[in-house]
Amino acid sequence: MKKRFDVRSIIRPDLLELPGYVPITPTDMLAARLGVPPERVLKLDGNENPYGPSEKALEAIRNVRDFHIYPDPDQRKAREAIASYVGVDAERIVCGLGSDDLIDLIMRAVLSPGDAVINCPPTFGMYPFSAEVAGGRVLAVPRREDFSLDIDGIARAARDAKAIFLASPNNPSGNLVDERELQALLELDLLVVIDEAYIEFAGREHSAVRLTSEYENLVVLRTFSKWAGLAGLRAGYGVLPLELAKLLMVIKQPYNLNVAAGVALVAAIDDREALDERACAIAGTRDRLCELLRSIDWVSPYPSSANFILCRLEGMDAREVKELLAKRGIFVRYFDTEGLRNHLRISVGLEEHNAIVVGALREIGGELGR
């Protein structure tokens, strides 16, 4: 009898214990679960852009005739377009499969086994996940009650760390990294990675890109998933110090920006005025939704600069509320982690979705005696 090979015996032990990142469920699967058409699902759990891609991006994809040809491994057209958009040299731009790809690349570039990365929870779960996959350690410096950063705690942790990853606006709390906080971090002997996946909903004047020419320890990540509505195509980029950018171009997968994503992102940049108008509309819808949520006595929304709103529920079980919303075809994100007990995150949809969400929450409150 052939000897059975135990594949687990050759896998890194730390990875066998690694909890996976918890992703969201696609719309078609949510619809099938409910037994309703996909158009009946109100998907507000993934922070996607409800307007979808720009018409120029869709037209650019329709006009491609060489999907059978590998994409440019040097990403030249995409990097040049992005460089003109953000005002930096193209050599300092690296594109990837969304900004998640850049997070992973940076971790692999800077971490040797056992090296530490600072994480400031509650925040985006890909930072600790990617650090541990790369063999690194995660030093947690929790945020304060208002989700601001503990700068003194970060400074202490920085003595034993190589990098810190911060989202601005932060996911899921929606607050920006304060200018003074950022300046203090940049003075540390630490690679500071600012993830600006949602910056267009806050206003680009809050972006740290302008500081990348002054600080060699600053990286800024962006994505076309949110502002440009290209989440399904996976297109993101980083603005990096020149030497780090050169290294990432060497270690990345050669064709990590596919043909469709490449032409779509260039067209999206060309159509940025229309996309900025949509982002402004989403920000307005967000602010109106926040006011409506405040009118429900058991819902406490936090101010947000992103395209979602984090809500603390008072005297109600957030998991139960999430499940009752799901039965109505409304899907939101539920968190059960330190600093986010009994919280829901609601992505901003179209204007007409506000009344649907708020009406459903009022109904649920009545059902549960509030």
What percent of the chain clears pLDDT 90, i.e. is strictly above it?
84
Tell me the one-letter amino acid at 160.
D
Looking at residue 1, its pLDDT comes to 65
Q: Mean pLDDT score of the chain, rounded to an integer?
A: 93
Cα–Cα dist 86/181, whole Å: 23
Supply 109's token pair. 């570039």
The CATH superfamily of 7-51+273-367 is Aspartate Aminotransferase, domain 1 (3.90.1150.10)
329 SS3 class: coil
Mean pLDDT of 246-271: 96
**Which of 110, 104, 111, 118 has its CA nearest to residue 188?**
118
Query: Is it the case that residue 196 has pLDDT exceeding 90?
Result: yes
Cα–Cα dist 102/85, whole Å: 19
**Which of 169, 158, 95, 163 has its CA nearest to residue 134?**
163
Contact 96/236 with Cβ under 8 angstroms? yes
Supply 254's token pair. 């050669």
Query: Is it the case that residue 3 has pLDDT exceeding 90?
Result: no
Higher pLDDT, 36 or 258: 258
Beta-bridge mates of residue 158: none
Q: Quickly tell me which residue has 């920000």 as its tokens.
A: 283
Confidence band (pLDDT; 50, 70, 90) for 243?
very high
Q: Tell me: the pLDDT tens digits for 168-195? A: 999 999 999 999 999 999 999 999 999 9
> Do 7-51+273-367 and 55-271 fold alike per CATH?
no
Cα–Cα dist 125/121, whole Å: 9
Instruction: Tell me yes or no: is domain 55-271 CATH 3.30.1950.10.
Output: no
Query: Is it the case that residue 370 has pLDDT exceeding 70?
Result: no
Q: Give the count of beta carbons closer than 10 Å to the beta carbon of residue 264.
A: 27
pTM over 0.95: no
Cα–Cα dist 10/335, whole Å: 34
Looking at residue 38, its pLDDT comes to 72
Cα–Cα dist 335/289, whole Å: 20
Beta-bridge mates of residue 346: 309
Q: Please count the residues of the chain.
A: 370
Q: What phi and psi, each to the nearest 5 degrees, are found at residue 140?
A: -90, 125
Cα–Cα dist 248/60, whole Å: 28
DSSP string, 181-212: HHHHHHTSSSEEEEE-TTHHHH-GGG-SGGGT
Angle at 166 between CA 126 and CA 251, to 5 degrees: 60
Q: Per-domain residue ranges for the chain?
A: 7-51+273-367, 55-271
